[in-house]
Chain A
Amino acid sequence: MTTADQQLTGSRSGYRVVGSSPAHHDFVDKVKGSLHYAADWQLPGMLYSRVVRSPLPSARITGLDAAAARALPGVAAVLTAADVPHNQTVERASGGLAELEVAMPVLAQDRVRYFGEAVAVVAAATQQLADQAAELVSVDYEELPGVFDVESARADGAPRVHEVGNTLVNWQIRCGDAAAAMAAADVVVEGEYRTQHVEHAYLEPEAGVGWLENGVLTLRVSTQVIEHAATIAQILRLPQSKVRVIAAYMGGGFGGKEDMTVEPFLALLVWRTRRPVRMIWDRQESLAASTKRHPFIMRYRTGASLDGTITAQQVEILGDAGAYPNLSPRVLFAGAACACGPYQAPNASITSAAVFTNNTPASAFRGFGAMQVVYGYEGQMDRLAERLGLSRIQVRERNFLAKGDLLPTGERLDTCVEIGQTMHRALGMLGEPPRPTGPGKLVGRGLGCNRHPYGRTIWFRDRASAWLSLQADGTLLIRSGVTDLGAGQAASLCQIAAEVLGARLDDISVYIGDSALNPPAGGTFATRQLYMSGNAVLHAARELRDRMAPVAADLLGVASGELEFADGLVRPASAGAPGVSTAVSLTLAELAAACDQRSISTAHLSTWRAAAGAFDPRAGQGDTFPDYTYGTHAADVEVDTETGQVTVLRYAACHDVGRAINPMRVQGQIQGGAMQGLGYALTEDMALTDGHPQAALFADYLIPNAQDYPDVLVDVVESGEGKGPLGARGIGEPPIGNVAATIASAIADAIGARPDRLPMTPERVLWLIDARRTPGQQSAQEGGLR
């Protein structure tokens, strides 16, 4: 039907289960509609709740009267800051490295710092009563001067969002002598690139249900991180053993459910009322109060020799953190660490600051700082090509990193870099350049390459555990604290275990996302779960197999090393060969029984640890990320020179995924990431005016619909050299990164001027066209890649 169907057939790698695309039980439930999301649980006596939020971005709270709300029949609790045992969440996103320590209150006490900040929380017998009570909570505010953009916030005398200062963190990465190399460069190109606030817009709003069970505060919520149980315990001053967080399968997250959302409010209300409580943010609340993608201002200076070789990079990044730290320190770190892209930068000076404003807090969003900078570094590559009269392909090929090369941080790349192959494959999928559809239309072709990390920042010494149990009947249980965003996080673990232990997929059940019953997996973010929990399950399965293999070997009369675990059986590896009898084999049930008779456990818990390292923030050198995923996108666009409207005609994406554990889900990640990126590139803008969000309704915030863009054509490279299980690389975040740069490159090819500000709206494109409207620049109509 489409070329997206390509490559879904079996693996070329010699694996039985890995490399195929079976549908897992959670997808069966999803297409039946029988999956229960966070909002779908009801418990006897359950209360409904609502958060009271600030209507001002910067104000002192001078009074709060909850008497009328409390007096409303059916209201069970109205809680304010005074009711929170420990009214602080301090995330210290960078573990205290180089950042200010600023606490975020659960409920604002005397000061609000952004529009939508939580001030009180209400529980009542019905949702309608809870909404009514929330409106009856009367809060007096004295408006204070605010600061709403990063440059004003950095100026002398700017209003302070927090007493300690407005610059949360200022990272630097340095290598060589960038100033001297820049001065000596044959050419220097400069660019300033600006990106916008963006909303995750998962279709399932923030939601959850909480209750008490055996004295344990239990929350079943839509979250990427069950490890927040520890923070919730701290807020309530409870022992960590008395808080349990269960993650429902999420209706999308994209980083927006990485910080806590409903959890602390539910926890407070359940603890106070001793009754089950449900909380669902309505869409307007989700738009106004949930975290956003950081807008970046990026100033690039790139020095190069006449043949296009980059000799120096100077990069300055400012990120709008909004009113509280959340994960901003790490987002800006990722931006700095990836600021030079998949290119050599022998002399580099990179700074990256997270700045407080009275805007909505920004935090994790698919791409996490490493995606914003693609718009900057790819803009520089196109500019360099234009300045030197080289093709955009040539200038990239001249500078691509390769295995063994050094990054600006001083780290040596120790896996292969197939970026060139992804570039040629992505461009190849586009085919012949299109022709303009009419007068006043220009077509252009663009490309965008990226280097995107997978796995947590190295100094966190990441680890993940998995617990496998072969049951007496030969079926297999996997227990893992992984949370599932819908990308098949749980399903992939089943494929890996099936590959090693030979259990049939239908015979495997996976229990995930429970902080009490599962071994910790560390949250689903940073494109880390296939890498971390995939490796944990791979190693747990291998260790369990190695423990059971001598028993099977003994019974079958062959050496342990000659056994094969496949198709629910253990047999000599030669048994599968043509003409060899398969009579000599054990079922996994027989093996489990034999192990039991010999007191050999068929359950196994294993912890996998990522490499450790350290970063020196003063020297701007050290360890950053475990490894990277490389990819290229390419697009054909048509620009209407009368209206500035950009129509995407064709879109292609290629990434080196190392090894595709499930090729169909790999394609799905790339297609979905590219589509989110198209919204980011062309329409999505969660604009704020003096701290007030301009999009109050979903109707105002335009995410792509089925008609807006063409199918995303996908190809993958399987280099087999990733650090994930069986050589896989992560693919969750990487494919959103290339898109804005790719579209900008194509627009520049069409109209001869590059948009440097997102989103690239018709107004902005038209402004560029008008500014450059001169006769004789029709070569762009050829559509070929210059």
Chain B
Amino acid sequence: MNKIQLVLTVNGRDHEVWVQPSQTLLDVLHDELGLADVRYGCGEGLCGTCTVLLDGEPVNGCLTLAVQAVGRPVTTMRGLPGPDDALHPLQECFLRRGASQCGFCTPGMVLTALDLVQRHREQGRGRPSREEIRYALVGNLCRCTGYTKILDAIEEYADQAARQ
């Protein structure tokens, strides 16, 4: 199949990539750009391990074609820390609360939660409740933690964000 050249803007930088029109954003980010924080989990848009922010909104990389991302900024979890590689405050909360076990779901959880907290702030709705966080996370599965510590971490971050 013929490859086409695209420019993808990922974590603030432009990348020229040659891709097949049928290639998913997940495959291009993971295999072509070496972004190991975007992960294949099911290929069906159900588990959320390939979550990235596209135009600032969480999408499943496995259900998005790479060509759909042209001209739209893509953020993966590795794009969150500042230039000094410091942890994002939400990542700090995950670490402090023990919200990662195997860690495979963590990037998707963090990006989905970040979007939720930001949307609530922008819409003047204050901090999302624990139940609202649960609802936002239904597309991000975790098989290790039982979710409690993930919810604790996100609530702690939401509290911090609300105070700022």
Contact = CB atoms under 8 A, between A and B. Distances in A.
Nearest to B150: A706
B24 to A, nearest CB: 11
B102 A251 contact: yes
B129 to A, nearest CB: 12
B57 interface: no
Given A203-B143, A252-B144, A706-B140, A282 B106 contact: no
Contacts of B77: 32-33
Interface stretch (A22-30, A513-521, A638-646): A22-30
Interface stretch (A147-155, A288-296, A463-471, A671-679): A671-679
B112 to A, nearest CB: 10
Contacts of A675: 145-147
A454 to B, nearest CB: 19
Contacts of B148: 2, 4, 671, 711-712
B152 to A, nearest CB: 5
Contact of B143 (A26, A40, A676, A697): A676
B49 interface: yes
Interface in B26-59: 30-31, 34, 36-37, 39-44, 46-47, 49
B70 interface: no
Interface stretch (A328-336, A397-405, A662-670): A662-670
A451 B20 CA distance: 55
A700 to B, nearest CB: 10
A707 interface: yes
A182 interface: no
B103 A251 contact: yes
A140 interface: no
Given A1-B156, A205-B41, A706-B150, A33 B106 contact: yes
B74 interface: no
A283 B43 contact: yes
Could you tell me the dominant secondary structure of chain B's interface residues? loop
Contact of A35 (B41, B94, B103): B103
Could you tell me the dominant secondary structure of chain A's interface residues? loop
Nearest to B76: A33
Contact of B149 (A29, A205, A486, A671): A671
B41 A486 contact: no
A767 interface: no
A552 interface: no
B142 A698 contact: no
A573 to B, nearest CB: 33
B107 interface: yes
A486 to B, nearest CB: 3
B68 to A, nearest CB: 19
Nearest to A280: B40
Interface string B69-88: 00000001110010000010
A389 B55 CA distance: 64
A202 B143 contact: yes
A480 to B, nearest CB: 19
A21 interface: yes
A262 B106 CA distance: 24
A203 B47 contact: yes
B60 interface: no
A4 B152 contact: yes
Contacts of B145: 668, 671-672, 675
Given A32-B78, A42-B31, A254-B143, A667 B98 contact: yes
Nearest to A252: B102
Which of B46, B76, B95, B104 counts the most chain A CB atoms within 10 A? B104
Interface residues of B, number: 56
B101 interface: yes
Interface in A184-228: 200-205
Nearest to B47: A203
Contacts of A201: 143
Contacts of B96: 23
Nearest to A40: B36
A2 B97 CA distance: 12
A274 to B, nearest CB: 22
A96 to B, nearest CB: 34
B119 interface: no
Contact of B102 (A31, A485, A712): A485
A698 B107 CA distance: 20
Interface in A3-48: 4-5, 21, 23, 26-37, 39-40, 42
A699 interface: yes
Range of interface residues on chain A?
Answer: 35 or more
Contacts of B133: 706
B83 to A, nearest CB: 14
A102 B34 CA distance: 43
A487 interface: yes
Given A33-B76, A40-B36, A4 B100 contact: no
A39 B40 contact: yes
B31 A665 contact: no
Contacts of B102: 30, 202-204, 249-252, 485-486
Contacts of B144: 252, 486-487, 668, 672
A689 interface: no
Interface string A221-257: 0000000000000000000000000000111101000
Nearest to A664: B98
A703 B143 contact: yes
Contacts of B81: 32
Nearest to B37: A33
B103 A30 contact: yes
A250 B134 CA distance: 25
A485 B104 CA distance: 11
B47 A706 contact: no
A705 interface: yes
B141 A204 contact: no
Contacts of B91: 31-32
Given A283-B41, A486-B144, A671-B149, A27 B36 contact: no
Which of B46, B145, B147, B150 counts the most chain A CB atoms within 10 A? B147
A711 B96 CA distance: 18
A40 B102 CA distance: 15
B106 to A, nearest CB: 5
Nearest to A674: B146
A181 B72 CA distance: 76
Given A33-B77, A250-B102, A668-B144, A1 B155 contact: yes
Contacts of B20: 128
A42 B30 CA distance: 10
B10 interface: no
21 contacts: A1-B155, A5-B152, A26-B103, A27-B95, A31-B100, A36-B36, A37-B104, A39-B30, A128-B20, A282-B43, A486-B102, A486-B103, A488-B101, A668-B101, A671-B149, A675-B145, A675-B147, A698-B42, A698-B46, A699-B44, A704-B147
Interface of A: 1-2, 4-5, 21, 23, 26-37, 39-40, 42, 128, 200-205, 249-252, 254, 280, 282-283, 485-488, 664-665, 667-668, 671-676, 697-699, 703-707, 711-712
Interface of B: 1, 20, 30-31, 34, 36-37, 39-44, 46-47, 49, 76-78, 81, 87, 91, 94-96, 98-107, 110, 133-135, 137-138, 140-152, 155-156
User: Ordered nearest first, which 9 A-B pairs have the shortest CB separation?
Assistant: A30-B103, A33-B37, A486-B102, A251-B104, A675-B146, A671-B146, A706-B137, A40-B36, A486-B101
Given A203-B141, A251-B39, 17 more contacts: A2-B152, A26-B103, A30-B106, A32-B81, A33-B106, A36-B36, A39-B39, A200-B143, A201-B143, A203-B104, A280-B40, A283-B41, A668-B149, A671-B149, A672-B146, A705-B138, A706-B138
